[in-house]
Amino acid sequence: MSAGTDARALLPAVDRVLRAMEARPEASSYAPARRADAARAVLARLRAALPAVVPGVEEVAAEALALLAAEAAAGLSRAVNGTGIVLHTGLGRAVLAPEAVAAVAALDGCCTLQIDLETGARGRRDAVIAHLLATLTGCEAATVVNNNAAATLLVLAALCAGRQVVVSRGQLIEIGGSFRLPDVIQASGARMVEVGTTNKTHLRDYERALTPDTAALLHVHPSNYRIIGFSQSVSLAEPASLKEGRELILIDDLGCGALVDLARVGLPHEPTVQESLAGGADVALFSGDKLIGGPQCGIIVGKRTCIEKIRKHPLARALRVGKFTVAALEATLKLFLNPETAWRRVPTLRMLALTVDELVARATALADRLSPLFRARRTHGERLRAARCLPQGFPPPPWRWRIQRCPPASWRAGFASPIPRSWGASITSNIFWTRGPYSPATRSASRPPPEWSGG
């Protein structure tokens, strides 16, 4: 290239690149318009970069096809959870039980989503789920929407629109993605009445706020934070006492929700759905993909009169779940019919119940499998987490695992490592691969390929 020649003028024309692409067998996988877009994108990048050495037409064609291949490969893929966070939103939250996975896989044709087999007439897609929830929680009726934020919006819109909802200031939560409860209340058409203070709320605060225009008392379980020290909150049973002689609805937003007592395995007690209804809640709502370990959804249970109003609201159709969610949730709830089965078969519960000895065995097996590439040693432990469900975490093992050596030091904490790419999976950890902690607590439920199972 002579002095003063613009390198951009030497780049091949788009039509030459396209002909070079068409000569390669892999090009037939992509539509002509996509091949043209890719060629133009590569040439535009080269013009902007002004390379010292101008690539030839074959090189540009290869890069354009590589771009198309990368786009085709993008999307959800398998991952190994090494973060120690049992319910990791970035990694898909709850790992489904094998029964739930099988139920979804079975839907490769038509299914009885909304058909009553006895009558042949149109049925309710959540009929089996409602029956299971009634058996498990003692509720009169139930329905399901696409997540718990949607459940909150729908319940308030159906039962409280245009009227007042009383809620403690200490329970006006914000969760991931800047989701704020006051904004949802406003969007529902209800009018929020705040009572108490951030750190202290008394029953008398609720009572003083009641007017003829009050539709409901909203109790929100702060599942993603704790207020400690000089603080006081009102239990669910206390505002329930205010319903006597009044037309009030008590709504309990449990957040994570639980169908079994986590204290059984030494974890902090989380209010169960059964306790909520027994404590006086007319409506309780909670997530299906957290402590229940099912698919993403919002579950609403409670009195039949309330649930029927919720089902008939226009938003109920907009927020309803599809057949894959229905199938996975049905299969998951059936496991809870026998709590012992749930502790064994629901991956979320199984991970939360792991003992120190089990964690040691898994970590040791993993270290043995990685030994050709890594040196591993145990150091002081850290508190494991269940995402935002258990903000205080739960008792840690007396160690954590440090993995040392070999991949490039440029691999950074919190990023997916390319080590298992040949197995079609990636591994995500809270580590610096050159020297960092790796938790075996969540790995087994991530279903790595068998040749990297490590026990």
Window from 12-16, 74-78, 287-291, 442-446 with minimum mean pLDDT: 442-446
Query: What's the rounded mean pLDDT across residues 391-402?
Result: 51
Topology adopted by domain 98-343: Aspartate Aminotransferase; domain 2 (3.40.640)
Residue 17 has pLDDT above 50, yes or no: yes
Full-model pTM: 0.83
User: What is the amino acid identity at position 8?
Assistant: R
pLDDT of residue 125: 93
Do residues 421 and 73 make contact, with C-beta atoms less than 8 angstroms apart? no
Give per-residue pLDDT as tens, 207-243.
999 999 999 999 998 866 777 788 788 889 999 999 9
430 pLDDT tier (thresholds 50, 70, 90): very low
Query: What's the rounded mean pLDDT across residues 92-97?
Result: 92
pLDDT of residue 375: 66
pLDDT of residue 334: 98
Torsion-angle region of residue 377: left (phi > 0), alpha (psi -120 to 50) or beta?
Answer: beta
Query: What's the rounded mean pLDDT across residues 54-63?
Result: 94
- In the 3-class helix/strand/coil scheme, how is the chain assigned residue by residue? CCCCCCHHHHCCCHHHHHHHHHCCHHHHHCCHHHHHHHHHHHHHHHHHHCCCCCCCHHHHHHHHHHHHHHHHHCCCCEEEEECCECCCHHHCCCCCCHHHHHHHHCCCCCCCCCECCCCCCECCCCHHHHHHHHHHHCCCEEEEECCHHHHHHHHHHHHHCCCEEEEEHHHCCEEHHHEEHHHHHHHHCCEEEEECCCCECCHHHHHHHCCCCEEEEEEECCCCCCCCCCCECCCCHHHHHHHCCCCCEEEEEEECCCCCCHHHHCCCCCCCHHHHHHCCCCEEEEECCCCCCCCCCEEEEECHHHHHHHHHCHHHHHCCCCHHHHHHHHHHHHHCCCHHHHHHHCHHHHHHCCCHHHHHHHHHHHHHHHCCCCEEEEECCCCEEECECCCCCECCCCCEEEEECCCCCCCCCCCEECHHHHHCEEEEECCCCCEEEECCCCCHHHCCCHHHCCC
- Domain locations along the chain: 7-73, 78-90+350-452, 98-343
pLDDT of residue 267: 86
Do residues 357 and 327 make contact, with C-beta atoms less than 8 angstroms apart? no
Residue-averaged pLDDT of the chain = 83
pLDDT of residue 87: 86
Query: What's the rounded mean pLDDT across residues 390-402?
Result: 52
The CATH class, in words, for 78-90+350-452 is alpha beta
Residue with tokens 């229940």: 292
